[in-house]
Amino acid sequence: MSRSLREVVFVDGVRTPFGKAGPKGMYAETRADDLVVRCIRELMRRNPELPPERVDEVAIAATTQIGDQGLTIGRTAALLAGLPTSVPGFAIDRMCAGAMTAVTTTASGIAFGAYDVAIAGGVEHMGHHPMGEGVDPNPRFVSEKIVDSSALVMGSTAENLHDRFPHLTKQRADAFAVGSQDKYAAALAAGKIGPELVTVATRSAEQGWGLATADEPPRPGTTVEGLAGLKTPFRPHGHVTAGNAAGLNDGATGCLLAAEDVATELGLKVGMRLVGFGFAGVEPEVMGVGPVPSTLKALASTGLTIEDIGLFELNEAFAVQVLAFLDHFGIADDDPRVNPWGGAIAVGHPLASSGVRLMTQLSRQFAERPDVRYGLTAMCVGIGMGGTVIWENPNWEGEK
């Protein structure tokens, strides 16, 4: 039996404001599942053309799948959001690339014909569930030298990357971090950051009820001089600091995917079109280099080259990790195509949710840039992986 694949489109994406993890963060007393429920409800509210019963799947990622992030959160969040009981759901985990994998998994189902419409996203409440909570790594990893012990500490893997590529200096990392903060601040002031946000009611036993409307992590006014004196917690006299890495954060994301013909049938907008994707493994000790082979794989499978990519949304888990990617492909540290609205160093990185943040921003950038045909979202992944998804701009005006 032969069949043809269908085109898959990214219809819309939303996210909660990202918060700082910990007892003083704005989501300290807010449930993780309630964060992702807000995203699902907002997607449905913003797209009234979509009958709720036409949603065929809900895939929600979380890295730490226990407590208020457990219990097959894709299904439970769908029910809590008010979707019909006929809509199934599942949980997925690929650490930082959880939401990205939720997208590629459901998109593959759409292309194959198993689904018409799907919701994909991710959530991470690092205040409730610190990275690594409840895990029990097999002692063979270290005793049999399958990986170095540093592979299980993400900040240490970033220090390893500085060691491997000594030309990626702390000064370059700090300068890149300042650029991320500055670009985020400029995008916020220009109204580019904000339309994708869904407000969240918050609760505090001490302060009462509140409303989260803006991202908590950004540090406007950050300077290279200010970053130079920060402590290097992963190694004495090291390179990685709280200033040139993403913080510990809480937040959720969600997006709506559909077959292009179904989007046309229902009158849904098309934000961008899926071209291809790739995931790759690397040495866990230098997991930050993962987006290089995953991008090479995605480019090869789509017949594109890095020169075809007009916009890059790269997750900034650590500045050095992005610099390694840029250096490999011969892209300048301050290339305007890269994270034009800032990145995770400024806005935060609630682990499994971040992939859809990248996609949502790229989709909105495409709407402003009909001169750009292809864009790329990529991220490094813990335990030594990288993920890359390539998208096409439906607003592209063709070769001038």
Residue numbers annotated as active site: 96, 349, 380
Please tell me the distance from the alpha carbon of residue 183 to that of residue 259, in angstroms, as a whole number.
34
- Around 288, how many Cα atoms within 13 Å sit in the side-chain half-sphere? 32
**Residue position matching structure tokens 């039996």:** 1
Q: Which residues of 272-302 are buried (b: 16+ CB within 10 A; e: fewer)?
A: bbbbbbbbbebebbbbbbbbbbbbbbbbeeb
Cα–Cα distance for residue pair 384/140, rounded to 1 Å: 17
Residue that is written with structure tokens 């109204």 in the block: 191
Residue with tokens 């208020």: 68
* Cα–Cα–Cα angle for 23, 123, 383, rounded to 5 degrees: 95
User: How far is Cα 242 from Cα 232, in angstroms, rounded to an integer?
Assistant: 8
Beta-strand ranges (E) seen in 16-72 are 19-20, 57-61
Cβ burial, residue 235 (10 Å; 0-12/13-18/19+): middle
What kind and span of H or E run contains 109?
Answer: helix 98-112
Structural contact between residues 273 and 391, judged by C-beta atoms closer than 8 angstroms: yes
DSSP bridge partners of 271: none
Q: How far apart are CA 315 and CA 339, in angstroms?
A: 9
Among residues 31, 4, 1, the alpha carbon closest in space to that of 19 is found at: 31
Residue written as token pair 């996609």: 359
The bridge status of strand 117-125 relative to strand 57-61 is: parallel
**Among 229, 254, 249, residue whose Cα is nearest residue 346:** 249
